[in-house]
Amino acid sequence: RTVILFLAAWREFMFEQREGEDNDDDDDDDDNNDGSCSMLSNAAISTSTRARVAMPVGGNDDGRSENRRVEPMRSERKRRRRQTKWGMANSGASINKVVGLRGGANLAPAQVRSEVFQRLLVSALVTLVYEACLGHTLEFIKIDMQTSTAESYTCRDSIRSITSKKGTAGLWDGFLPWGCIQAISKGAVFGLAHHIASQILIPMAKGEDATLPLTLAMTMAGGIAGGFQGYALSPTLLLKTRIMTDSIFRQSMSIWKTLHLSATIGYRVVVIEGIQSLMKGSNVFALKRVFDWSTRYFFADLFESWLSRSLSEGESLSLLKKSLASLLGGVASTYATLPLDVLVAKVQDAKKAGDNTSALSLFKNELKEKGLQGLVSSYMRGFGPRLWHVCLTVVVLKTLSPVVYNHLFGQH
């Protein structure tokens, strides 16, 4: 049902954009100023200023008009409702300042669809490069530590276990094909969902009739996008986690055999456990993603606002200060969502294949067996790699991706 509602909202949004393009062709004198639909920031605020005047009525013989009549009020009200619905109403100076902090850019309606595609492309490529270079390795070490049954298991022990028989190539187990698919879809799905959520929520925070605080609207947009991202990525995360936690993949084997076993693990999971097993832990993962991106955006924006207090009028934060704010936001978000992250890893562990124990039951059983102190110790495993992974992910997706977009497509 969630996916159907999401697709319906996207279809209606694209229809409105096409209608806006048709109106553009008919009205040469329209002054349109459509805001950035940044996938990776909260600057998806559209603005438009239109002054529609009808053709002259009652002109004299030499063609000069004596009277002009404005467009009928009914059409005007309809146009204003459409603008308000999709975030095309005029924004105030305070909102423009926030948009400036988040890397906004101005576009004409005819460019919106190509701009959306460009941002999806950039977010997917940037995430893929980051995950291939560092993100996947950090996540591998984190998951290995979180699912280990050893009493004392450090980050060094995890690296030694992963690389003991395959060398450093073992650190990329699971990246092909599932980690690669996840990296590409992670940025694209989040970007698309965030754009649509922002187009709906941001207008609610504008004008005298605002029903939401601007910060809350931006935070909610990030959380909604995270929820959609969680459900979309859950199957690939499960398959990648199975590879990371299956002892078979720790054995000495060629790269080609590793790739073959990795590519066919999805078939084995479906045959043995059923196709529904691909969504095992998806609810917890989606909930985690909601809190992940809500807290990341909230804390990052909070630190950006704090750093911008020393700026003069019209001055914006430097890239270094934005990155610092994203790092600090990642640190705060890591502490806030650590229990959910560990629960997802434990539920999708290969050692629990076929076990239908819910995440809540798993948490209760661990609390009963280990006590509060043992539970805290268990859930703090992998904190270091997760902290670095979250902080760098926020910097890459929130701060650096708009920079790459501006560089590639000339939006300086």
Q: What is the pLDDT of residue 308?
A: 86
Residue 383 CB neighbour total at 10 angstroms: 18
Q: What pTM does this model have?
A: 0.65
Q: Using one digit for the tens of pLDDT, what is the confidence trace for 2-58?
A: 555 555 655 665 555 555 555 555 554 444 443 333 444 433 334 333 333 334 444
Residue with tokens 């207090």: 309
> Amino acid identity, residue 14?
M
Tell me how many helices (H) and strands (E) the chain has: 14, 2
Helices (H), 255-281: 255-273
Q: What is the pLDDT of residue 298?
A: 86
Residues 57/63/64/66 CA torsion (nearest 10 deg):
-30
> Cβ distance 255 to 172 under 8 Å?
no
Q: What is the pLDDT of residue 8?
A: 60
Task: List the pLDDT tens digit at each of the 412 positions of the chain.
Answer: 555 555 565 566 555 555 555 555 555 444 444 333 344 443 333 433 333 333 444 444 444 444 444 445 555 555 555 444 444 344 444 444 444 434 444 444 445 567 778 878 888 888 899 999 999 999 999 999 988 888 788 899 999 999 998 899 999 999 989 999 988 888 778 878 888 898 899 889 887 888 888 888 888 988 999 999 899 999 998 999 899 988 889 888 888 999 999 999 989 999 988 888 889 888 988 998 899 888 887 888 888 888 888 777 778 888 888 888 888 888 988 888 888 888 888 888 766 666 777 777 888 888 888 888 877 887 788 889 989 998 898 888 778 888 888 888 875 4
Residues 322/328/330/335 CA torsion (nearest 10 deg):
-170
DSSP state of 31: E
DSSP 160-229: HHHHTTTGGGGGGTTIIIIIHHHHHHHHHHHHHHHHHHHHHHGGGGSSTT--S-HHHHHHHHHHHHHHHH
Q: What is the pLDDT of residue 139?
A: 92
Residue with tokens 């062709």: 25
Give dist(CA 25, CA 389) in Å, integer.
Answer: 47
How many residues make up the chain in this entry? Answer: 412
| Per-residue CA distances from 300 to 28, 101, 102, 326, 397 (Å) | 41, 11, 11, 5, 12
Q: What is the pLDDT of residue 152?
A: 82
For residue 295, which of 324, 323, 330, 243 has the smallest C-alpha distance?
330
* 156 alpha-carbon distance from chain centroid: 31
Give dist(CA 106, CA 377) in Å, integer.
Answer: 49
